[in-house]
Amino acid sequence: MDKQELVYGTRAVIEAARSGRQVEKVFLQAGVTNDLMKELVQTLKDYSIPFSWVPAEKLNRLTSKNHQGAVAFLSAIQYASLQPIIDHAYSEGRVPFLLLLDRITDVRNFGAVARTCECADLDAIVMEDKGNAPVTSDAIKTSAGALHHLPVCRVKSLKQTMKELRDNGIQVVACTEKAADDLYSADLSGPTALLLGSEEDGISAPLLKDADRLVKIPMKGKIESLNVSVAAGIAIYEVVRQKMAEGRKNPASGKAAHK
């Protein structure tokens, strides 16, 4: 992360949180339990800011300054709320199209995915507030600036969010090699949220279980999986293709097929 995205010092981190700044993550020094640290922890909980207890050595590697046991990274973007985005799409007569990311930790992969999402005119990227790549200047650079235009929603639980999406009439389609059906056999022309998972172990089991449908990208070679940004591009543009086909088939629905 860039130096300007880092805030250190217990009081400085408290004030950053209370000021409404978008705080990506906070590292706290294990074993520090003074009153100011207790105030900081409570503030982070009040503002739902993720934090982790780490050894002093990790903080010392992040900054050589007097960090007092607290280092925070500020987000390079402002996060958005999901429900207003869904409501706005429906109010305009459009079909919501979202991407859910489960534990995508590589900043450059995330940036590349965001670039594709913006080019395809998705409504938003949705990811949990823990376990995913931070939205840094590196991510924005890799996205070619797309993250300045594409809403990103940070949620506490993707599992709960998937339920909320279904309540809003949006199907959750998981892209996974564990699927029996291929991507091209699925009806993706309606309100859809694509779900993609970690390159290490794919989509987590609880999320796979809760998805409305599982699909896979056909693989013909010896390697069993694609880079997540490539997989995202293939899946996203299959949705785009189907929406365009639906619009041509039923011109009256053209407004719902495109922004």
**CATH value at residue 220:** 3.40.1280.10
Domain identity same for 101 and 213: yes
The phi and psi torsions of 233 (rounded to 5 degrees) equal -60, -45
Domain identity same for 144 and 226: yes
**What's the confidence (pLDDT) of residue 257?**
46
Dump pLDDT digits (tens) for 177-207.
889 899 999 999 999 999 999 888 899 999 9
Which of 32, 49, 74 terminates a domain? The answer is 74
Domain identity same for 108 and 219: yes
Q: Which domain holds residue 178?
A: 82-257
Domain identity same for 56 and 156: no
Tell me how far apart the alpha carbons of residues 62 and 94 are, in angstroms, rounded to a whole number. 45
Tell me how far apart the alpha carbons of residues 33 and 161 are, in angstroms, rounded to a whole number. 34
pTM score: 0.81
Report CA-CA distances (Å) from 208 to 84, 152, 173, 197, 205: 26, 22, 9, 10, 5
Which of 52, 74, 96 terminates a domain? The answer is 74
Domain identity same for 118 and 219: yes
The domain tally of the chain equals 2
Domain identity same for 187 and 62: no
Q: Are 167 and 72 in contact (CB under 8 A)?
A: no
Domain identity same for 202 and 97: yes
Dump pLDDT digits (tens) for 62-72.
999 999 999 99
